[in-house]
Amino acid sequence: MSISKSRQVAMMAVMPASLRAAVAAYQWARDSIGESGAAVYRLHGRDGAPGLYLKHGRAVAAADIADEMARLRWLAQYLPVPAVVQFARMADPDQAWLLMTALPGTTASEVLAANPALGPAVVDALAAFLRRLHALPVSACPFNAGHAVRLAQARQRIDAGLVDAEDFDAGREGWTAGQVWAALQDSLPLVPDLPVTHGDFSLENILMQEGAVVGCIDVGRAGVADRYQDLAIVWRALGELDASLQQRFAQQYGLLDIDQGKLQFHLLLDELF
C-alpha cells in the first residue's frame, strides 16, 4: 500500500541526513506482511537504482531492528540475506532505521498459494535450505537464541502487555498469555540440540525462484538455539496446507522421529512473540 507524499516527507524529516539522501527519490509502499512492531516499507521507482526495504521502529522495536542488523551482517558470510545498506539509531526518542537491499524471488507461501501442486518441490527446497542453515558453524555464531533467552524475553513481553492473545493458534483460542506461560513451565526442562537457527522459519520468510530457495529475511531472532525452534514453525505452516507435506519435510530434512514435546514447546513459545 503506497503511503502519502506528506507522510513520506514527514518521516524523512526526522531521519539522519545520510539516510535521507539514500532514500531520496524513491516511492514508498507499506509492507504489512510479517510486521512485528516495526514498520516496513518497500522502496522502488528511483531511476537506475535497485529496490530497497526500510524498517523503522521505536523503543522495543528499535532494539529488535538493531538485533536484525547485527545478524544480517553475520549471516551474510554464509547465506543469501538482504545486505545492510545503512543502519541508524537515535537515543531521543529511541528509534532505529534499517535500510536493506531487496532480494529476488517470491515467498514460499506465495509460491504455494499460486500453485499448490508445487508443494513437494517447495518442501524439498525448504528442507535442503534448513539443513544448510543448521550446518553453519556454531562456534562462530555470536548470538544466543536458546530457550532460556527466549523465555526471558517472553516474560518481559507478557509483563509489558505486548502479547496479542487474539493471534494465538486455533488450538489455544481463548487462552491468556499467562496460560501459555504456565504450559511452557510445565514443559521444562528441555534438553536442547543446538545448531544456528533462523528463529522464525516461516513460509513468509523464505524466498524462492525457479524452484530453489534464494534467500531468507526477517532474521532478527537468529542465533544458536534448539533446532526445533525452526522445525516447529515450518511444521505448523505445512500442516495448515497438507499433513503429507509435514511428513515429506521431516524425511527430506533427515528426521527419523518427531520430538512432539519439543515441537509443542516451541509452538507455545512462539505464541508469545
Identify the structural domains of the chain with CATH numbers, from first to last. 5-101 (3.30.200.20), 106-270 (3.90.1200.10)
DSSP, res 57: E
200 is catalytic: yes
DSSP string, 91-149: ETTEEEEEEEEPPSSEEHHHHHHH-GGGHHHHHHHHHHHHHHHHTS-GGG---B--HHH
Using one digit for the tens of pLDDT, what is the confidence trace for 15-33?
Answer: 888 999 999 989 999 886 6
Q: How many CB atoms lie within 10 A of CB 186?
A: 9
Q: Report the distance separating Cα 92 and Cα 61, nearest Å.
A: 14
Using one digit for the tens of pLDDT, what is the confidence trace for 139-196?
Answer: 999 999 999 999 999 999 999 999 999 999 999 999 999 999 999 999 999 999 999 9
Which of the following is catalytic: 64, 67, 200, 230?
Answer: 200
Q: Are 130 and 255 in contact (CB under 8 A)?
A: no
Segments in the chain below pLDDT 70: 1-2, 32-36
Phi, psi of 39 (to 5 degrees): -90, 135
Q: How many CB atoms lie within 10 A of CB 198?
A: 28
pTM for the whole thing?
0.92
Q: Report the distance separating Cα 21 and Cα 28, nearest Å.
A: 14
